Amino acid sequence: MDETVSLRVAAPSDAAALRAIYAPYVTNTAVTFEYEVPTEAEFAARIRRTLEMYPYLVAERGGEILGYAYAGPFKTRAAYAWSVETSIYVRGDQKRSGVGRTLYAGLEDILRMQNILNLNACIAAPAQPDAYLTRDSIAFHTRLGYRLVGEFRQCGYKFGHWYNMVWMEKHLAEHPAQAAPVLPFPQIRVQAVERLELREPK
């Protein structure tokens, strides 16, 4: 049995599988501040919108999806073009297996090819320890080279608890005096697939 974790580009047809990974985070945790699990159609639309500009990757082993990661705009105004917000969700039974690290490594490689310089992660954080949220994601991002920028206090309310929100950042490269243009993912997709040995969706 092949135990290798491989990465491929996500497709709207993955919506059901990725929604199944995401749903427990919505219903059982405060990791996401969404209250309702998106429909499969909405999930497919989100994948489609992301791929218009940014990478959206899934991790697989033996054809089974283990997790996913993607980038999105940090802010929409032009001067923020070199910054993105990163997101990652790993299936519950695959935590601490290296899947998350593999996903983020692939995501970062593609973002470098796009000339993205800043990664930003928005992370829910418990004001007090509880059953719905830990600071594990903060520790995970710290291990991958992110640094804490700031913590907003009691800005999210879920399950009858108030939660903080943390921003962390990571720089992928030096910031030159003349910034290179940001390349949309579709423009570098073929090159990224070949260089990183990604698989395309069937």
Query: Which CATH number fits the domain that encloses residue 73?
Result: 3.40.630.30
What local confidence, expressed as pLDDT, does residue 94 receive? 86
Domain membership flag for residue 195: no
pLDDT in tens, the chain (202 residues): 357 899 999 999 999 999 999 999 999 999 999 999 999 999 999 999 999 999 999 999 998 999 999 999 999 999 999 999 999 999 999 888 899 999 999 999 999 999 999 999 999 999 888 999 999 999 999 999 999 999 999 999 999 999 999 999 999 999 999 999 999 999 999 999 999 889 888 7
Backbone φ and ψ of 186, nearest 5°: -55, -25
Position 197 in a domain:
no
Assess if residue 189 is contained within a domain: no
What's the pLDDT score for residue 1?
37
- pTM for the whole thing? 0.95
Backbone angles phi, psi at 123, to 5 degrees: -125, 125
**What pLDDT is attached to residue 91?**
96
* Domain count along the chain: 1
How many CB atoms are closer than 10 A to CB 14?
A: 19
Count CB neighbours of 117 within 10 A: 21
Binning the chain into helix, strand and coil, the percentages to the nearest 5 are 35, 30, 35
| DSSP-H helix ranges across the chain | 15-28, 40-51, 99-113, 136-143, 185-196
Find the DSSP H helices in 52-200.
99-113, 136-143, 185-196
Q: What digits encode the pLDDT tens for the residues 130-165?
A: 999 999 999 999 999 999 999 999 999 999 999 999
199, part of any domain: no
Give residue 70's pLDDT: 98
- In a domain, residue 194? The reply is no
In a domain, 50, yes or no: yes
Query: Whole domain around residue 138: which residue ranges?
Result: 6-182
